[in-house]
Amino acid sequence: MAEGPNQQDAFGEELAEVLSQIVSLAGFRARIEWRKRSENEYYVNARTRRWDGLLIGRLGETLRALQLVVQSILQHRCGKTPNVIVDVGGYKQRRENFLRKKSMAIAKIVKETGREMMLDPLTDKERKLAEQTLAGIEGVRSYTIGTGYRKNVIIAPVDAP
């Protein structure tokens, strides 16, 4: 079942239908909710009764794949599409809040001890969020190390070399 704030929005309805079909084909029943965040961005969230974890996957890997499939289908059906954010059970919002809090907590420890600390490997979007959070904290700086899809953010005192 798809719900949205404006049932006249054809793209939002198509988005909800695509996600609903994929989730159904995977063998799950889900409630699909969507909203238009801005002229260029839509958010869609699938809620299952007890299978959210399977659709999210380890560290959101399955959810990222689900997002790519949904975007690919929509581009094939609709041509140029707005940005689409696919979520399951509100996982992405919870993950963002966790990363902000963890970044701030580690920054506090770095300021107190004067020693560098490293966040767990993050995706590009997660790294950007952590770095934006850290940019607003005086006394610390951040930089990235590693290669590939998941890299580490190092939080260091400003006066460290």
Domain ranges of the chain: 2-89, 94-157
In 3D, which of 140, 130, 120 has the Cα closest to residue 99? 130
CATH architecture of 94-157: 2-Layer Sandwich (3.30)
The model carries a pTM of 0.79
Q: In CATH, which of 3.40.50.670, 3.10.20.600, 3.30.300.20, 3.20.20.70 is domain 2-89?
A: 3.30.300.20
Q: Judging by DSSP bridges, how do beta strands 152-157 and 117-118 pair with one another?
A: antiparallel
Q: What is the pLDDT of residues 116-156, one digit of tens each?
A: 999 999 988 899 999 999 998 999 999 999 888 778 999 99
Q: What is the DSSP letter of 89?
A: T
Rounded Cα gap, residues 133 and 127, in angstroms: 10
pLDDT score for 96: 94
* Helices marked H in 79-159: 91-113, 124-135
Q: How confident is the model at residue 161 (pLDDT cuts 50, 70, 90)?
A: low
Q: What is the pLDDT of residues 66-96, one digit of tens each?
A: 999 999 999 999 888 899 999 999 999 999 9
The CA–CA distances, whole Å, from 98 to 12, 38, 84, 120, 133 equal 28, 25, 22, 12, 12
